[in-house]
Amino acid sequence: SCHRPAGKPASREPGSGGLPEGVEYIPRRKKGKNPMKPVGVAWYSLYARTRLGYLFYQRQVKKARERYPHGHSVPQPYCFPGVKILPIPVLSNNYSYLVIDTGSSQAAVIDPSDPLAVQAAIEEEGVVLEAIFCTHKHWDHSGGNEALRQKHSSCKVYGSALDAIPQLTNPLTDREKVSVGSLTFEALATPGHTVGHMVYVLDGDPFGGPPCLFSGDLLFLAGCGEPFEGSPETMLASLDVAMGLGEDTLLWPGHEYALECLSFASLLELDNSALEQKLQWAVQQRQEKRSTCPSTLGEEQTYNPFLRTHRPELQEALGLWQGGGEDLDTFRARVLKEVRRRKDLYQAT
């Protein structure tokens, strides 16, 4: 069954669900399963650029299949007239997405981390896989490309030529559009996490739905990817590209990091009621192993510190002020760098 957004799509109330009355949430640190969290330059080079990274990914897949035989989260499919978006929980916290043109039964998948899980969804939905959209080269996003192409020989693999994406058949440039059945995806270059990181935007207009942003590791619910291959200025520019998509845009991130990201954000802005409500909602969702996606870009701007570098309340909380003669974007990049530094320290504890 599908959740079918009504009116303004996915205007999920930040606090819906919440905690039982009288129960207070106290953030408790729990180490993430991301192989690069926290990470050194040497390990990142091994993971991203050598066969060791692929072997580590294979071990990740094996362990996750044993630990989460039905996936790490209970996803909720979203439908608009003519479109179905099916989140596929893979590895220990990744999401792949099967996006279906229900009229033609043609489909695309974004970041097929575990080919078996993706293939099972393809078979269950009875669709033809026409395209793989890869946000970036990291194995936990691209590791299923080869196996799926072997099974679906006419399937094309899209992504940036700047990233070493496995099985890439159709390199894309910034703002290039691709059609899958009656679906139209636009690729946006968003470097920072990797040099060739791209996000994909599904045009919802023909279906009476909102734009859908498949953000990979650029943007998470209340979070942002590590700028492994870019500066704070580069990452800020990429985040601004995403923010230009409009407040009703649905955010479909590459990882289930909501609880960790919201817990961290709540330490920065103690008086942010939208953040407090969203954290309570996320606690409830995760207690029930439910997925926390999608959110909307409008909602994200109320609590995601990586998108609030222009907000005086965050700047003040960080103890940062714009210098005389310092232009706004330079200052915002400095704010972003400090948020990132604190997030890395938070992850490392």
Model pLDDT, residue 1: 67
Model pLDDT, residue 3: 66
Query: Catalytic pick from 136, 152, 163, 248?
Result: 136
Q: What is the mean pLDDT of the chain?
A: 90
Percent of the chain with pLDDT strictly greater than 70 = 89
Residue 142: pLDDT above 70?
yes
Whether 138 is a known active-site residue: answer yes
d(CA 225, CA 278): 20
Work out the pLDDT band at 253, boundaries 50, 70, 90: very high
Query: Catalytic pick from 101, 111, 138, 163?
Result: 138
Model pLDDT, residue 47: 85
Model pLDDT, residue 29: 39
Model pLDDT, residue 330: 97
Model pLDDT, residue 5: 47
Model pLDDT, residue 255: 98
44 vs 122: which has the higher pLDDT? 122
- For residues 133-137, give the mean pLDDT: 98
Q: Which residues pair with 74 in a beta bridge?
A: 290
Whether 310 is a known active-site residue: answer no
70 vs 34: which has the higher pLDDT? 70
Structure tokens at 316: 């003040």
With contact defined as beta carbons under 8 Å apart, do 262 and 56 qualify?
A: no
Note the pTM of the prediction, 2 decimals.
Answer: 0.90
Residue 31: pLDDT above 60?
no
Work out the pLDDT band at 44, boundaries 50, 70, 90: confident
Query: Catalytic pick from 101, 111, 217, 248?
Result: 217
Work out the pLDDT band at 38, boundaries 50, 70, 90: very low
Structure tokens at 27: 């953030």
Q: Which residues pair with 27 in a beta bridge?
A: none
Model pLDDT, residue 347: 84
Residue 171: pLDDT above 80?
yes
In SS3 terms, the chain reads as: CCECCCCCCCCCCCCCCCCCCCCCCCCCCCCCCCCCCCCCHHHHHHHHHCHHHHHHHHHHHHHHHHHCCCCCCECCCEEECCEEEEEEEECCCEEEEEEEECCCCEEEEECCCCHHHHHHHHHHHCCEEEEEECCCCCHHHHCCHHHHHHHCCCCEEEECCCCCCCCCCEECCCCCEEEECCEEEEEEECCCCCCCCEEEEECCHHHCCCCEEEEECCEECCEECCCCCCCHHHHHHHHHHHHCCCCCCEEEECECCHHHHHHHHHHHCCCCHHHHHHHHHHHHHHHCCECCCCEEHHHHHHHCHHHCCCCHHHHHHHCCCCCCCCCHHHHHHHHHHHHHHHHHHHHHC
CA distances from 32 to 35, 140, 146, 251, 260 (A): 8, 14, 27, 21, 8
Query: Catalytic pick from 72, 152, 193, 197?
Result: 193
d(CA 160, CA 134): 8
Whether 141 is a known active-site residue: answer yes
Whether 174 is a known active-site residue: answer no
22 vs 191: which has the higher pLDDT? 191
4 vs 119: which has the higher pLDDT? 119
- For residues 313-318, give the mean pLDDT: 96
Domains of the chain: 78-345 (3.60.15.10)
Residue 15: pLDDT above 80?
no
Whether 255 is a known active-site residue: answer yes
Model pLDDT, residue 39: 56
Query: Catalytic pick from 141, 152, 197, 248?
Result: 141
- For residues 27-38, give the mean pLDDT: 44
Query: Catalytic pick from 111, 140, 163, 248?
Result: 140
Whether 72 is a known active-site residue: answer no
Model pLDDT, residue 270: 93
d(CA 93, CA 217): 12
- For residues 75-104, give the mean pLDDT: 97
Whether 152 is a known active-site residue: answer no
Q: Which residues pair with 128 in a beta bridge?
A: 106
